[in-house]
Amino acid sequence: MALMAAAAGAATPAKPGARPKPRPAPDASLDAYAEPGERIDIGGGRKLNLRCSGVGAPTVLLEAGFGSDSLAWAKAQPQIAQRNRVCSYDRAGLGFSDGGPLPRDLKADVADLRALIDAADLDTPLILVGHSYGSQLVRRYDELYPKQVAALVLVDPPEQNVGEFSASYAKTEAQMAPRMLAMYRGCEQGARDGRLGAPRPPSDLKNCLRPPNPTYSDKLNASVRAWRSKPAFWETVISGSQDRLSLYGSAVAKSERHDGKPVIVLSAEQPYAGAPADDLKALLAAREQTHLALIGTSRYAKRVTIADSSHDIPNDQPAAPAIAVFEAMEMRKQIGR
């Protein structure tokens, strides 16, 4: 949600007199993400970018968070690949994937995932691993296509139904949404007229693009900047953002079930660094309600708190998703599946 994203992105002030930490050298191994993997034709003249590695069954498919491409799994995918074939991909409008028809909501993303699995001939049933918004996607996919899913790993699912715990928080979120959408539309227009992709975008577009990541090479930073400067990216962000209030505004439905298969929920230890105290209390309560409800959707479920991690578990603790995948495989053996 908007406030949560702002809190998670806020920089921590340095202590007076403290020496700045030296910046790490760029990780050259990430340069593979500056180029497409395998662009899979899913029909309708559209292609989605797929990256697969490793061997071993069942195949694992990774779903990134909102607005993120397969680069989000760069640290975690190699660890999963030590035991399993594992694939990540860029959703429509992100990374090296083509844009898709609007609206770009959960229904559209689920339809694209089904088309990708079929077109890439991925072996099913799959273990689906979803981070943040990706957890919503894999949950819905399992509800629609349960025979294609072996297990679910939900990586820090976003809190739902915060309004139950803080009406003021929900009101502020609703008030902020039009302003955020207006900013996104300005970014989209800047992308259309070429101003956003300029070496130095004008001041009215300064909040559209993140500064270069010091752990990325110049090549990778340029690649990320290029796809985030395209209209298709902003169309995806705008359409998806319009879907988010309804997606997270209510609690996990009591009718949601994933029975007969493992469901593992990974909860970050420090998901809301920098959030004001009143907001933090409501966010934590809603998150607790959400995560407990999710492990209640299957008889074969567990929850694991990941120490020393923010909401970005795949980057902070990349071994955690790999361990969860292994545990899901062991759980499948125990229940005879």
Longest dimension (CA), the chain: 60
The helix (run of H) or strand (run of E) holding residue 266 is: strand 263-268
What residues contact residue 320 under an 8 Å CB cut-off, 6+ apart? 76, 155, 266, 304, 306, 309, 313, 314
Q: Taking a C-beta distance cutoff of 8 angstroms, is the pair 54, 82 a contact? A: yes
pLDDT at 146 over 60: yes
Which pLDDT score, from 0 to 100, does residue 201 have? 92
Mean pLDDT of 64-77: 98
pLDDT band at 246 (very low <50, low <70, confident <90, very high): confident
Q: What is the spatial distance between Cα 176 and Cα 180, in angstroms, rounded to a whole number?
A: 6
pLDDT band at 9 (very low <50, low <70, confident <90, very high): very low
Which pLDDT score, from 0 to 100, does residue 21 have? 60
Cis (ω within 30 of 0) for the bond into 271? no
Q: What is the spatial distance between Cα 42 and Cα 267, in angstroms, rounded to a whole number?
A: 33
pLDDT at 23 over 90: no
248 class by beta-carbon count within 10 Å (0-12 exposed, 13-18 middle, 19+ buried): buried
Mean pLDDT of 149-158: 98
- pTM higher than 0.85: yes
